[in-house]
Structure 1
Amino acid sequence: MTDQVWRYEGYEPARERLRESLCTLGNGYFATRGAAPECAADALHYPGTYVAGCYNRLTSTVAGRDVENEDLVNLPNWLPLRFRTDGGTWCTPDGTSLLSHRQSLDLRAGILERESRYLDAEGRTLHVRQLRLVHMADPHLAALRTEFTAEGWSGELEVESALDAAVSNSGVERYRELNGSHLTHVETGTADPHTVWMRCSTRTSGTRIGMAARLAAPETAIEARNEEHRAVQRFRLRLASGHAVTVDKTVALHTSRDPAIAEPLGAAVDRVSRAEGFAALVESHRTAWQHLWQKAELEVPGEAGEILRLHLFHVLQTLSPHTAELDVGVPARGLHGEAYRGHVFWDELFVLPYLNLHFPEVSRALLTYRHRRLGAARDAARAVGRAGAMYPWQSGSDGREETQEMHLNPRSGRWLPDHSRLQHHVGSAVAYNVWRYWEASGDSEFLHTKGAEMLLEIARFWADAATYDESLGRYRIRGVVGPDEYHDAYPDTKEPGLDDNAYTNVTAAWVLARALELLGSLPEPCRQELTEHTGIGRDDLSRWEDISRKLYVPFHSGVISQFKGYEELAALDWEHYRARYGDIRRLDRILEAEGDTVNRYQASKQADVLMLGYLFSPGELRALFARLGHRLDDETWSRTVDYYLHRTSHGSTLSGLVHGWVLARAKRADAWEYVQEALKGDVADLQGGTTGEGIHLGAMAGTLDLVQRGLTGLETRGGALWLDPVPLPELSEYGFTIRYRGHWGVRLHMRPGRLNVRVPDSDRAPIDIELPGRTVSVAPGESCELALPHHWQPRSA
């Protein structure tokens, strides 16, 4: 790998799925995995194409019961292009004929290049070079260029190109017992010898898909024919030794969800017929990517910088400016695979803070996705006897709860009840993102309308969920699951849920306080209109104030308890399990396969209490606990960090990120170990095969935000940029550009002992920079070099 290009040398079948995920190309509208065009889906390869927000619901029989699941649909495969020398077998990298193989992903240009050399049965060598793009300027186009060169021989090459709808959702092994046949009513046809088309629809959601492919090849007769579920084009090329022969395949994709089209197939055929040639497409594609990189400039040296740029590349492919035109949320595994069924979780909590400072229009669209499903969240709350809005742990097309009721433990082969839908803290994540988006963008119009409506309804839910306990003189929230998904019930109880999860209660108190702050800041006519619209009365506000100050936060032995009774659980023999199993990230599966349950132990999957140190700066967290009547000093927080540091298995890619962030803020020397875990989670597939099922978008965006906000202490509040840097020795110098309240290209550069802030020239007001103990105002067109106090110097490694 280099600064700009991610490379793989040689062919490794066992790692092919991982490479396919990391070499996925997309544009925010759709994405295609980096599979070889000459390979069909099998145990090693999984070509997949996914359109953002294109879901379908199917029923499967699991463990004797009918289970309904909604999936992001694997659409027809547009990649197929296979070839063989005259009379030979089709070339594939898994055959004995592969002599060499390499592929490289150009991050700046968004182009995947593959080079392979094949040896046929007669000892002739064929060199194949391919360039692939999913167009960033026109989100409905993709293109594949293939160059064939005969090395030391001349003769004919047979080539077959196709659009293939004989696909299913089968990319995740543990889902394969479930119904994955989402496409139906497949039709194929020919517009002209160079253009074939395909249309189909999803079985239950009724989304219609249109796809068309146009071939450009040297003068040769192209035979176009229709097969079952395939639109096929075959032709022969005459190769002369040492001379490259080029075949270009351009594809257009539309669905019935698209605006401003009559119908998908006609739109696809029309678009592909008008598409420019490959060279022109590459030029406009490169230009679009150049504009994205300008808005998301990131300068970090070394290996960390290389990985961060790969992460940024995949964030931009999943959530580009094209996303702002769509009704979609943040898919936890990107548009890169089928894990988590393409659902939307709380991962936006780790994604939007980065986008807010670069592409606020995308953040607004992602929050609008939540607002459009506010009605479904209200319905969900009413269904459990609550007021307000209860957002689902997993969301898809229409905002209903998509969390499966059962999940498979691959170790034991058993299907088990899934209680993760009790993670109601997802509502606090939605509210948090509303507030942080407003602080970064200054978009008061959104905050005072859609944002306010969501924030108030989530506050209403928490107020209704809280019950007063006379013996404690506190309000309690019972029967929930926190971020640590290992614990979903108390030992030896049949009812799921836990009481007084600290993260849930503290964030609920924060939501209530922000809702009150918002209402207090509005002009009287706006406040009256909003409270009348939502039905919130004075008694409600008085109760919210009381709850926001009296929610119960359990403590034990001078540390914050993850939930009431956590300290009473048994201690786990961590060394025994590490010695026996090695990788114990998924400790829950290990224990269940042994007939045990992690609910019995002080063992967490991922950061739970420590998430509070990720969301809130030290000052904010102290103020939040003070509002709740607790003194959270440095010693208490340090003890809390130490306590959970030794009781967490990091079964989530988000856990290393949060621990690295928290430890860096605490100026701990072991922070870098966890930062590296976060950086390499997908690149090295640390979770053991999960990256091949789709990248972890929240962790990737979170590492970017670690540099942007975590290490700089950057906050956007009170109309100013607040900075409190904590440089790591391993990341002591870096720079990035942000967009802040209409200022495009505000540049921050950190190096040991110095911070430079440059504001681009404009007619806007100066930016106030708040540092501990001083305020600096930087006018447009100016830069300011700030000396940092000695305690801000990076610690020795």
Structure 2
Amino acid sequence: MTAWTWEYEGYDPAHERVRETLCTLGNGCFATRGALPECTADDVHYPGTYAAGCYNRLTSVVAGRHVENEDMVNLPNWLPLRFRTAGGAWLTPDTAPVLSHRQTLVLESGLLERVTRYGLDGGRVLSVRQHRLVHMADPHLAALRTEFTVEGATTELDVEAALDGGVTNAGVRRYRSLDGRHLTHVHTGTAHPGTVWLRCRTRTSDIRIGMAARLTADAPVADTHEPPRALQRVTLVLEPGRTVTVDKTVALHTSRDPAISDPLQTAVDRVTTAPGFEELLESHATAWGQLWRRAEIDVPGEPGAILRLHLFHVLQTLSPHTADLDVGVPARGLHGEAYRGHIFWDELFVLPYLNLHFPEVSRALLHYRHRRLDRARAAARALGRRGALYPWQSGSDGREETQRLHLNPRSGRWLPDHSHLQHHVGSAIAYNVWQYCEASGDAEFLHTKGAEMLLQIARFWADSATWDESLRRHRIRGVVGPDEYHEAYPDAEAPGLDDNAYTNVTAAWVLTRTLEVLRDHLPEPRRRELLERAALEEGELERWENVSRTLHVPFHEGVISQFDGYGDLAELDWEGYRKRYDDIRRLDRILEAEGDTVNRYKASKQADVLMLGYLFSPGELQDLFRRLGHRLDERIWRRTVDHYMARTSHGSTLSGLVHGWILARARRTEAWTFCQEALRGDVADLQGGTTGEGIHLGAMAGTLDLVQRGLTGLETRAGALWLDPVPLPELSSYGFSLQYQGHWGVRLRLESGLLEVAVPPSDLPPIDVRLPDRTIGVEPGETSRLLLPD
């Protein structure tokens, strides 16, 4: 790696899937995996193209049951471009001698470069150099330039390009027993010489897809059709040392795109009028340059290079183009088919970063949730409750998409899946509404859609709380927390846990914050209108106030209990399991394969209670517990951190991120180990094969936010920037820019105990900057340098 490139040297089939994921190119509307164009989908390669929000629902028979799943659809493959010497076999790295191979992801310009040298008979060598882009300025275009050069003797080369509509969703091995044939009615044709098209639709969601490709070369191009593929063929005569170029330009549209009539005709028109490769590359690089300026980050060394790669993939999934779409935050990006492209709670880790760089994207992602508010209210009604219950997994229309069965690859058994009981996703949405409004100053959103979501989420929590006379407290029963390992009590017939501390504390926060919005932020006419529309009954707000102060938070042995009864669980032989299995990240699968269950043990997959320290500053968390009638001083929190640190297997890429964030303030000397794990999660495929199925978007964005908010203690609160930096010896110098309440390009830099805040010139009011020991105002056009206390 360098600061701006990510390079792979040599061909390595065992790691090809990971490379394809990390070399994915996208623009926020669609993305294409970094597969080699001459290779088809098999156990080594998996070309895939995915459009944001393009889902389809199919029913499969699993373990004798009919199971319905909605998937992000693998769209027709626009990449295919294969080649062979006249009369020979098609050349691929798996079937022909590879003399050298290099793949380079150029982050600065959003370009994927590939150079391969194939050995041919007679001592000849064919060099294949390719440049690929998915256009960031025009989000419906992609292009592939291929340069062929031969050494040794004149060679005739057959080249075949294609649009392939015969693809399926088969990128995740454990899903292959499910129906993955999402495309139907595939037709191909020729628009005019050199340009072919393909159209199809999804089987149940009936999304129409139009794709067109233009092939240009220094030789005649012949168009033929072998449905479901549109083919273009050209024969090149290669003179030794003379490079011959073939350019393939592609346009993609779906019926979900705004301001179009027919996707196919629009795609044909777009590719017909698209400029040549050089001009496309220039405008593409310009668009990327603008993104890099808005999201500037300056961190030295290897951490900085990985952070820039993470930022690259975040921006390819959620770019300013996303602001025009009705889409959420796909947990695995647009990079693969894991989790079926569903939207979980990962926006909790993504939006805090976007809020301070691309607030228009954050707003659009919150609009996705607001459009599905009615569906969430229907889900709450189905449980006999008021308010809104958002699904743990969401897709096209906001219904619960969580599968009811999941496969344990270790045992080969299909098991019940109760993760839909993670009702805390509603609190994550409420948190993001508040964080967005604080960072952007978007009062209009807070007063309208934001307030509507807050009110209905708060209403659900208040209606979910039941009074326990023996405790003299309210309780929330039958849920699953962020840990995910614990879905039920040992030997219980029904799933669900009582009084998950994270769920209850965040529910109390939602209730408190919503009451604050209703009383202090909304103009009186809007407040009245909102309450009338919601048809709040007399006494509901008073009940919210009561519940927000009396929700039960269990403790055991002087630490916060993950849930009521957690302290009664057995201790696990952690050392024994590490010796037997080495990697115990997925402890749940190990125990199930042994005929045991993790429900019996004090063992967590990832941060649960400790997530509270990720969401809230120490002072805010203490205030929350004080409101709930509990004392949470530094000693209790440190003991809680130590307790769960010793009992967590880190089976999620988010785990290292959250623990690094927490330890930066609780146990600084150990923080860097977890920060490194968060940084390396995908690039080193630490979860053992999962990166090849798609990036972990929340973890990638979270590492950026670790630098932006975690290490700086940055909060956007009460109309001010609050900063409480924590120095890490391994990361003593870093800087970044941000957008805050209309100020573009505010720069923060920390180095050697010095904090620098630079506000660009404008006619906006000064920024109020608050540190633990002082408050300053930084005027537009000014730079303040502050010496931090040791």
TM range (shorter): over 0.9
Are the counterparts in 2 of residues 439 and 716 from structure 1 also a CA contact under 8 Å?
yes
Are the counterparts in 2 of residues 667 and 726 from structure 1 also a CA contact under 8 Å?
no
Is 1:706 the counterpart of 2:713? The answer is no
> In the alignment, which residue of structure 2 is the partner of 1:795?
none
1:668, distance to aligned residue in structure 2 (A):
2.2
> In the alignment, which residue of structure 1 is the partner of 2:644?
644
Are the counterparts in 2 of residues 578 and 584 from structure 1 also a CA contact under 8 Å?
yes
> In the alignment, which residue of structure 2 is the partner of 1:498?
497
CA distance in structure 2 between the aligned counterparts of 1:454 and 1:292, rounded to whole angstroms: 30
CA distance in structure 1 between the aligned counterparts of 2:187 and 2:96, rounded to whole angstroms: 36
CA distance in structure 2 between the aligned counterparts of 1:538 and 1:738, rounded to whole angstroms: 44
CA distance in structure 2 between the aligned counterparts of 1:382 and 1:77, rounded to whole angstroms: 42
> Which ranges of 4 or more aligned residues in structure 1 deviate by more than 3 Å?
none
2:144 partner amino acid: L
Are the counterparts in 2 of residues 749 and 756 from structure 1 also a CA contact under 8 Å?
yes
Structure 1: tracts of 5 or more residues without a match: 791-797
List aligned pairs for 1:521-670, cutoff 5 A: 521=520, 522-670=522-670
1:191, distance to aligned residue in structure 2 (A):
1.1
CA distance in structure 2 between the aligned counterparts of 1:215 and 1:637, rounded to whole angstroms: 63
1:15, distance to aligned residue in structure 2 (A):
0.2
Q: State the SS of the aligned residue for 2:449.
A: helix
1:122, distance to aligned residue in structure 2 (A):
3.4
Is 1:240 the counterpart of 2:210? The answer is no
CA distance in structure 1 between the aligned counterparts of 2:142 and 2:543, rounded to whole angstroms: 55
1:388, distance to aligned residue in structure 2 (A):
0.3
List aligned pairs for 1:265-284, cutoff 5 A: 265-284=264-283
1:96, distance to aligned residue in structure 2 (A):
3.6
Are the counterparts in 1 of residues 169 and 181 from structure 2 also a CA contact under 8 Å?
yes
Are the counterparts in 2 of residues 88 and 121 from structure 1 also a CA contact under 8 Å?
no
Are the counterparts in 2 of residues 423 and 482 from structure 1 also a CA contact under 8 Å?
yes
CA distance in structure 2 between the aligned counterparts of 1:494 and 1:244, rounded to whole angstroms: 70
> In the alignment, which residue of structure 2 is the partner of 1:65?
65
> In the alignment, which residue of structure 2 is the partner of 1:467?
466
Q: State the SS of the aligned residue for 2:663.
A: helix
> In the alignment, which residue of structure 2 is the partner of 1:420?
419
Alpha-carbon RMSD: 0.6
CA distance in structure 2 between the aligned counterparts of 1:383 and 1:55, rounded to whole angstroms: 25
2:632 partner amino acid: L
CA distance in structure 2 between the aligned counterparts of 1:461 and 1:506, rounded to whole angstroms: 14
CA distance in structure 2 between the aligned counterparts of 1:138 and 1:509, rounded to whole angstroms: 45
Q: State the SS of the aligned residue for 1:315.
A: helix
CA distance in structure 2 between the aligned counterparts of 1:151 and 1:640, rounded to whole angstroms: 66
> In the alignment, which residue of structure 1 is the partner of 2:733?
733
List aligned pairs for 1:388-407, cutoff 5 A: 388-407=387-406
CA distance in structure 2 between the aligned counterparts of 1:419 and 1:613, rounded to whole angstroms: 26
Are the counterparts in 1 of residues 159 and 234 from structure 2 also a CA contact under 8 Å?
yes
Is 1:88 the counterpart of 2:76? The answer is no
CA distance in structure 1 between the aligned counterparts of 2:667 and 2:778, rounded to whole angstroms: 29
Is 1:483 the counterpart of 2:482? The answer is yes
> In the alignment, which residue of structure 2 is the partner of 1:147?
147
Residues 461-484 of structure 1, C-alpha deviation per residue, up to 9 Å, x if partnerless?
Answer: 000000000000100000000001
> In the alignment, which residue of structure 2 is the partner of 1:671?
671
1:278 partner amino acid: F
1:259, distance to aligned residue in structure 2 (A):
1.2
> In the alignment, which residue of structure 2 is the partner of 1:744?
744
> In the alignment, which residue of structure 1 is the partner of 2:506?
507
CA distance in structure 2 between the aligned counterparts of 1:294 and 1:440, rounded to whole angstroms: 19
> In the alignment, which residue of structure 1 is the partner of 2:297?
298
Are the counterparts in 2 of residues 141 and 250 from structure 1 also a CA contact under 8 Å?
yes
Are the counterparts in 2 of residues 172 and 339 from structure 1 also a CA contact under 8 Å?
yes
> In the alignment, which residue of structure 2 is the partner of 1:719?
719
1:667, distance to aligned residue in structure 2 (A):
4.5
Are the counterparts in 2 of residues 88 and 120 from structure 1 also a CA contact under 8 Å?
no
2:613 partner amino acid: G
> In the alignment, which residue of structure 1 is the partner of 2:186?
186
Q: State the SS of the aligned residue for 1:670.
A: helix
Are the counterparts in 2 of residues 665 and 710 from structure 1 also a CA contact under 8 Å?
no
List aligned pairs for 1:37-186, cutoff 5 A: 37-186=37-186
The range that moved more, 571-580 or 635-644, is 571-580
Structure 2: tracts of 5 or more residues without a match: none
1:537, distance to aligned residue in structure 2 (A):
3.8
2:289 partner amino acid: Q
> In the alignment, which residue of structure 2 is the partner of 1:380?
379
CA distance in structure 2 between the aligned counterparts of 1:668 and 1:706, rounded to whole angstroms: 14
2:203 partner amino acid: R
Are the counterparts in 1 of residues 85 and 157 from structure 2 also a CA contact under 8 Å?
yes
Q: State the SS of the aligned residue for 1:747.
A: strand
Are the counterparts in 2 of residues 388 and 459 from structure 1 also a CA contact under 8 Å?
yes
1:634, distance to aligned residue in structure 2 (A):
0.2
* % same residue: 75
TM-score w.r.t. the length of structure 1 is 0.99
CA distance in structure 1 between the aligned counterparts of 2:171 and 2:430, rounded to whole angstroms: 33
TM-score w.r.t. the length of structure 2 is 0.99
CA distance in structure 2 between the aligned counterparts of 1:405 and 1:709, rounded to whole angstroms: 37
Residues 484-510 of structure 1, C-alpha deviation per residue, up to 9 Å, x if partnerless?
Answer: 110000000110000000000000000
Residues 281-323 of structure 1, C-alpha deviation per residue, up to 9 Å, x if partnerless?
Answer: 0000000000000000000001000000000000000000000
CA distance in structure 1 between the aligned counterparts of 2:92 and 2:121, rounded to whole angstroms: 13
CA distance in structure 2 between the aligned counterparts of 1:97 and 1:158, rounded to whole angstroms: 18
Q: State the SS of the aligned residue for 2:117.
A: strand
1:763 partner amino acid: D
Q: State the SS of the aligned residue for 1:177.
A: coil
1:600 partner amino acid: R
1:538, distance to aligned residue in structure 2 (A):
4.3
1:341 partner amino acid: R
